[in-house]
Structures are given as C-alpha cells and as structure tokens.
Amino acid sequence: MIWLALSVVAIVAFVSIGYSIHARRTLQQHQRQYEALINVLRNEIQALTSSSIGMGHRLMDVENQLNITAEKQQELANRDPGVLAYNQAARLMEMGADVDDLVKNCGIGRPEAELMALLHKEIAAPNSRS
C-alpha cells in the first residue's frame, strides 16, 4: 500500500515538474515576444519624436520668415505717406466713419474716399450675410 501511495506521489510530482517546465518555456516565449514588441514600439516612438522635432524646427523657420516679411511690409507701408493715409482711412471706415470724415482726417480726395466707402460696403456685405 505504501508503494502505491509513493507511486502516485511520484507520478504527480513528475506531472507537476513537466507542467512547470512547459509553463516556464511558455513564459519565456511570451517574454521574448513582448520584449521584441517593446523594441518595435520604442523605435516607432523615437522616429515620431525625431520627426516632430524636425517639423517643429521647420515651423519655427517659417514663423521667423513670416515675422520678417510682416516687418518689411510694415516698413514699406510706413515709407509711403499716401499708403499711410489710405491705411488710416481704412481703419476709420471699419470704425464707421463716413466719406466726409475720411476727406477731413486723412487728407485724401473725395473721389478716393467715396471709392473706399464703396469697397468697404462690398467687403462688409458678404460678411453680414453669413
């Protein structure tokens, strides 16, 4: 009877050892797969980060060029007194000034002031319909 019990215990032990070895191999295989996946994801994140940094630098370059262009445009507008008068007239039109106000305050002629008023009405008309 003891031999039977010892035999059953030995068989259970061998089955347990076999299952443990199988489980360990399965875990090692899963670990290798997960490590490979982690490396792939790490490489993708690094590539995305590098491209984002590159796009950031390009965006900053474009922004700097835009600022330089805006400054040059403003300098050109400030050089020509006629343009300055028309810019002031446009701002006054946006604030609701009429033709007489433009002639009096901006130093432009009545025909130009009337033309600016017509243009302002045309530009404002599509915006008020929206």
DSSP state of 96: T
Query: What is the Cα–Cα distance from 102 to 110, expressed in whole angstroms?
Result: 8
pTM of the model: 0.43
pLDDT (tens digit per residue) in 80-108: 666 667 778 888 888 888 888 888 888 88
Helix (H) / strand (E) element for 14: namely helix 2-79
Delimit the domains of the chain by residue range: 1-72, 80-130
Encoded tokens for 18: 């076999």
Instruction: For the chain, give the percent of residues with pLDDT over 70.
Output: 90
Model confidence band, residue 118 (pLDDT cutoffs 50, 70, 90) = confident
**Tens of pLDDT, residues 12-23:** 999 999 999 999
